[in-house]
Structure 1
Amino acid sequence: MSEPSSPASLSTAHSRPVDSSERVILMDVLRGFALCGVFVSNSFSWFSGRALLPRDQVQALSASPLEAVVTALYYFFVNQKFVVLFSFLFGLGFSIQLARAEARGVPIVPLYSRRLLVLLGIGVTHMFALWVGDVLSTYALVGFALLLFRRSSDRTVLTWALMLIAGVPLLVSALQHFAPLLMHGTQAAAEAMKASEEQEAQARARLLDGLSSGSVWTSQTANAHFIVFVLPQLKRLIWMCTILGRFLLGLLAGRYLLLQDVERHRVWHQRLLLWGGAVGMLGNGAWLVAQRLRLAGLVDPAKDHWMLVLPPLQELGFVGLAAVYVAAFALLFQRERWRKVLEVLAPVGRMALTNYLLQTVVSLCIYDGWGLGLVGRMPPSRCVALTLVIFALQVHFSQWWLSRFRFGPAEWLWRSLTYGRAQPMRREPRSAVEISVS
């Protein structure tokens, strides 16, 4: 009699990457769309050096009417919305993987933990070797917290999502505002806020100097210094909480098959268009107005208590417009003509990890001082135009690559390390029957 297999060996035997026939094409399309928006956002704020420049230089780059319009459109329709969309899809993907694992009788925790550990390794390498703005390591760390909700009720998941998205930013904003006032008084609190802003501005200026240098070593040393001494802040912890909240919204959507069965949920998507648009307009509009008032010197965050509601309102605005994008794509994808147009984004979405890393490499070559040296010099319109051209090339590259290979290079590495064995990379040649049918 043969010896019974252990649970671990059964898990390994039944664990495998998702076959192309099992993929939800709409998710690949949305992931490609999200990757485009994330690239625009990263280029606009970070790769171009805009987030590191003093305020007067930022205003000079956006002085013309065209640049002012592009900047306003970016902050209203792009800023953080695509990061929300990407996070939502990460949570939805976890929901699908959980359902498939349960259907096969395979425990999700060991496999998903290995998956997250590999992603963490890729993210940490990306962060220190290339770019401070890496999001992969954060997704991996927060992903472990997502595992805790795999058996939670829908009400519990929704409650935690709302608390993390809106409640945590409001609580932290209130503590940051009132704690110094109660402990030191109004004048001391204002001085402490000013000192903190000056310290952060100096750190960003040092990073900009490093990125502007003609030495790869100098730029990457400045990058690592910024990671070690500036990033471990309360803001990063708050951001991780909001990301978990976005993950949970995706987990909930996956349970209800919101993207897997769009036709059955058409009314839900129509409601998302309406209510998401209303919340998005309110949240993003309020933030833009508050920023204008602050730049004009008409409001002071240290004194005007009503500004405490801006962080949670802004976060809800991000989620609202991201929901509009999801619903719009889902509804359009049900129409044959639009489906053919949108499916162009599917290959780049299937290779999201490879393309995300490739975007960093290309951007460093363009903006850093050892490359073309455009950091801190590109006005918004040219930055966005250049980013869209690069992304269009990525779309063609992804289509070419996936016509020959099953995975993108980074996806192949991720899967191979996760499953503990090299995955077959090349596509099998089609038979004569398949070729004649096609």
Structure 2
Amino acid sequence: MAIKSPAGDAEAVFGEGSTPDELAPVTAGARIASLDFIRGIAVMGILAANIIAFGQPLMATIYPPAFLSADGDSDHWWWIAQFVLIDGKMRGLFSVLFGAGLYLFIEKATERGATTGLAVRRLAFLGMFGLIHFYFIWIGDILFLYAVSGLALLAFYTLKPVNQLILGLLGYFISALIFAGLFGGLYWLASSGAMGEGEAAEMQSKMLAGMEADTQMAAAIQSGDYFAFVGANFTENLLMPVSTLSQAMVETIGLMLIGMALLRMGFFSGEFDHRKMVLWGWLGVIGGALGTLAIGLWVRSTDFDVLAAMLGYIAGSAFPRLPMILGLAALMVVYSPSWTGWFGQRVAAAGRAAFTNYLGTSILMLFVFHGWALGLYGELGRPQLYLVTLGGCIVMLLWSKPWLDRFKYGPLEWLWRCLTYGKKFPIRR
């Protein structure tokens, strides 16, 4: 199905245009502007979602007692604010946009006579970037997950949009139900008295076992020995990319299919009724936020029982999260065309260079937190970590537009394109 929209040319996976036969960049007018803007918001939001895991053990995002220092959030309102507004929503937006971008890439490739093998090659290189990111920079990588999920998605891109939407929703909610059953059952067993106190304590200790590995990683990061950090990744976390696939791949493919379907239905190009999009957008955002808030308050009421925290964070929040993701997307599609000032232009530019910004902020955080640089790992509480987030977002906004005014692609977007097509492209405008 051809896309008949203001986009004209293809919008690619991370904001880079693709024209497989002429191998020329898309023009500014040939892009779906809302995708760039939403992607820019999402890539900055992902930094906000990841900042706790950058500066503290990975478990601290879910479980505040895992902080190595005082978290500066005695009433846990900062935790609740992030849980309601950020966690899962930005990754969800990114996943939806990835599916839309992958469809556009494949569509343009087939129009120019290429096969899906070009998309396979592109995704393979994305997976390579993801593994480098994981083992040498930061273990919170999502690129490998996206690459493998994208390869699986190739089996479904020819389905009718409505079937893609139905299949995507089914995949998303089946994943959510599986985790709800798993963590809900564990929490019930521990809290209902169905198992003895000793068994319940043993189960909780097993759930917290990851904190020991986190502590070992923390020591490697704080030591200032970069090679010890890399070595710990290869020994302690060698199979973590695979385990991430087993936990998140079904949900991720579901979100990508939803993105494909919405793109083909005209959602991102303004073909839906704007008043209805505003109405349903606000209902999704407000309803999803209230549902997530209720879950967050319940987790806090348990004094962050580890099983309750994992049930609420991993499983329960998935149900109100999807309306919020789609509501945010709808509102940004409607409102972003009027945000053409300084801020709007720079957000869209950050979205066009989202690949570089995503990996670039991980590299920037190495300099902020690792012992061989500023050495702030384990030292900052939540409020201070959010100031680091603000600084990272300012960097994204400051560099992206001036760079793209002079160059056709972001640095990593250019490298990825050259690897995909096996050809060196001119980067200057």
Give the TM-score of the pair, scaled to structure 2: 0.84
Q: Which residue in 1 is equivalent to 2:320?
A: 317
- CA change 1:191–1:313 in 2 (3 A) is closer
Q: Match of 1:403, SS?
A: helix
Q: Which runs of 5+ in 1 are unaligned?
A: 1-10, 428-438
Q: Would you tell me which structure has more helix in proportion to its own residues?
A: 1
1:365 is the counterpart of 2:367: yes
Q: Can you list the C-alpha shifts for 1:282-303, whole angstroms capped at 9, x where unaligned?
A: 4412320231132266x9759x
Q: Is the 8 A contact 1:203 1:230 kept in 2?
A: no
Q: Which letter does structure 2 place at the counterpart of 1:361?
A: I
Q: Is the 8 A contact 2:106 2:116 kept in 1?
A: no
Partners of 2:199 and 2:175 lie apart in 1 by 22
Q: 1:369 offset after TM fit, Å?
A: 1.5
- CA change 1:323–1:177 in 2 (3 A) is closer
Bigger shift: 319-328 or 288-297? 288-297
Partners of 1:26 and 1:354 lie apart in 2 by 19
Task: From 152, 177, 182, give the equivalent of 1:170.
Answer: 177
Q: Which residue in 2 is equivalent to 1:288?
A: 296
Q: Which residue in 1 is equivalent to 2:200?
A: 190
Q: How does 1:14-413 map to 2 (within 5 A)?
A: 14=21, 16=23, 18-21=25-28, 22-43=30-51, 45-52=52-59, 55-56=64-65, 58=67, 61-64=70-73, 68-102=76-110, 104=111, 106-175=113-182, 186-187=195-196, 190=200, 193-228=203-238, 230=240, 232-233=242-243, 236-260=245-269, 262=270, 264-295=272-303, 311-335=314-338, 341-413=343-415
Q: Is the 8 A contact 1:130 1:361 kept in 2?
A: yes
Q: Which letter does structure 1 place at the counterpart of 2:209?
A: Q
Structure 1 runs (4+) deviating above 6 angstroms are: 307-310
Q: Can you list the C-alpha shifts for 1:203-242, whole angstroms capped at 9, x where unaligned?
A: 1111111111121111222233332155543x64121211
Partners of 2:287 and 2:53 lie apart in 1 by 27
- CA change 1:230–1:195 in 2 (3 A) is farther
Partners of 1:326 and 1:376 lie apart in 2 by 34
Q: Which letter does structure 1 place at the counterpart of 2:178?
A: L
Q: Is the 8 A contact 2:88 2:321 kept in 1?
A: yes
Which protein is bigger by CA-based radius of gyration?
1
Q: Which residue in 2 is equivalent to 1:421?
A: 423
Partners of 1:194 and 1:370 lie apart in 2 by 35
Partners of 1:346 and 1:275 lie apart in 2 by 25
Q: Is the 8 A contact 1:41 1:79 kept in 2?
A: yes
- CA change 1:198–1:274 in 2 (3 A) is closer
Partners of 1:142 and 1:282 lie apart in 2 by 30
Q: Match of 1:399, SS?
A: helix
Give the TM-score of the pair, scaled to structure 1: 0.83
- CA change 1:58–1:195 in 2 (3 A) is closer
Partners of 2:333 and 2:127 lie apart in 1 by 31
Q: Is the 8 A contact 1:406 1:425 kept in 2?
A: yes
Q: 1:78 offset after TM fit, Å?
A: 0.8
Q: Is the 8 A contact 1:263 1:334 kept in 2?
A: no
Q: Is the 8 A contact 2:37 2:347 kept in 1?
A: yes
Q: Which letter does structure 2 place at the counterpart of 1:346?
A: A
Partners of 1:246 and 1:398 lie apart in 2 by 27
